[in-house]
Amino acid sequence: MRTAAIRRKTKETDISVTLTIDGSGKYDVATGVGFLDHMIELLAKHGMFDIELKCKGDLNVDDHHTTEDVAIVLGQAFEKALGDKKGIARFGSAYVPMDESLARCVIDLGGRGVLMFKADFNRKKVGDLSTEMIKHFFLSFADNIKANVHAEVLYGSNTHHKIEALFKSFARSLREACRKDARVKGVLSTKGKL
């Protein structure tokens, strides 16, 4: 089983995460930011990852440190659980609709953290999460898993729907990229290393 447990404690946050890549979509998430919890639950359910995540953050300041650090720890957990990346599909992509919204995410677990992000949000917050933190979440995750992440909302009008479609497409593309492929011997790279 590809699993990892990470603990990260700073003056701003105290986070623990346990991840199983080859899971069944079980989750137990508590960050103190309800909409962020919902998005990580979507990541677990639609990626078929088991995620247990607890965060105590300085929410008296705002949602920035909690959101950023949760993404850092999740990225580190995936990077650790993937190990040497031998036998994985490496690439994943998914389109996901959410009512009137459509999102696309494409991922390469090739060892370089890059984010290309395209989304416009009509509201400054959804629940207790600032919409400006959505891009920052994906950037922090991409840096720490060392992946190219191309995430885009193609169209939509409801901000909640746009973000939910984005996270679901992210979950499904990450699931595909992490998938073991028996035909892949070693790593899927002509360099011989990811």
Number of domains in the chain: 1
- Residue 42 inside a domain? The answer is yes
Strand partners, 54: 16, 30
Q: What CATH number should be reported for the domain holding residue 119?
A: 3.30.230.40
**Could you read off the pLDDT of 72-113 as tens digits, one per residue?**
999 999 999 999 999 999 999 999 999 999 999 999 999 999
- Residue 193 inside a domain? The answer is no
**Could you read off the pLDDT of 115-138 as tens digits, one per residue?**
999 999 999 999 999 999 999 999
- Residue 188 inside a domain? The answer is no
Q: Could you tell me what percent of the chain has a pLDDT over 70?
A: 100
Quote the pLDDT of residue 193. Answer: 85
Structure tokens at 129: 């999460």
- Give yes or no for residue 194 having a pLDDT over 90: no
Distances (CA, A) of 62 to 16, 127, 128, 140: 20, 13, 9, 17
Half-sphere exposure of 171 (CA within 13 A, CB side): 24
- Residue 183 inside a domain? The answer is no
Range of the domain at 159: 3-178
Global pTM value? 0.96
- Residue 141 inside a domain? The answer is yes
**Could you read off the pLDDT of 40-55 as tens digits, one per residue?**
999 999 999 999 999 9
- Give yes or no for residue 170 having a pLDDT over 90: yes
- Residue 191 inside a domain? The answer is no
- Residue 186 inside a domain? The answer is no
Quote the pLDDT of residue 51. Answer: 98
Quote the pLDDT of residue 18. Answer: 98
Summarize the confidence of residues 166-175 as an average pLDDT: 98
- What is the spatial distance between Cα 79 and Cα 19, in angstroms, rounded to a whole number? 11
